[in-house]
């Protein structure tokens, strides 16, 4: 369970993007960041969430914000997902789930009676100075986009 609340400094991280570049959260200082975590590329809920952010991206950019999507998938998987759905934002590779752990969203899940570790769908809206202004964990795909947009108002 994430213990990161509003007003807390967002945990710093460095990650590889779908295109193989290395970025750090601090690279985005001066902009607002919608950092969202999703379980898997090209699955129904994750596609809904990604396409919601895609469809609202011009509005997000107008609010001096960027979107960063994070999942444990590989750069190659991210590239396919990004191309297939024409996603205008960066996807970060978190194969060792270090970012998800730092944000408290790498959790035990259960499907068909089997327990396994995975990403809890969530998002964090981070201000220009790196502070969390909204933290939504265990969020539905459609609600994630609407809530993040409201937090950017």
Q: Which of 46, 65, 70, 139 is catalytic?
A: 46
Pairing state of beta strands 122-126 and 114-119?
Answer: unpaired
The answer to whether 123 and 35 are in contact (CB under 8 A) is yes
| Assigned token pair, 140 | 């539905």
**9: how many CB neighbours lie within 10 A of its CB?**
11
Rounded to whole angstroms, how far apart are CA atoms 118 and 122?
A: 12
Residue 51 is a catalytic residue: no
| Residue 36: its H or E element | strand 32-37
Known catalytic residues?
A: 46
């Amino acid at each position: 369970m994430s213990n990161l609340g509003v007003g807390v400094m967002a945990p710093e991280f460095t990650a590889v993007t779908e295109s193989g570049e290395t970025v750090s959260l601090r690279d985005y200082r001066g902009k607002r960041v919608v950092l969202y975590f999703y379980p898997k590329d090209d699955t129904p809920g994750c596609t809904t969430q990604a396409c919601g952010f895609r469809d609202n991206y011009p509005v997000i950019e107008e609010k001096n914000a960027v979107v960063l999507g994070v999942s444990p998938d590989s750069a190659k998987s991210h590239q396919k997902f990004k191309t297939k759905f024409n996603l205008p934002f960066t996807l970060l590779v978190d194969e060792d789930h270090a970012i998800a752990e730092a944000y408290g969203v790498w959790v035990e899940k259960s499907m068909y009676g089997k327990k396994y570790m995975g990403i809890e769908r969530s998002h964090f809206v981070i201000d220009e100075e790196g502070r969390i202004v909204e933290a939504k964990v265990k969020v539905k795909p459609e609600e994630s986009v609407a809530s993040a947009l409201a937090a950017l108002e």
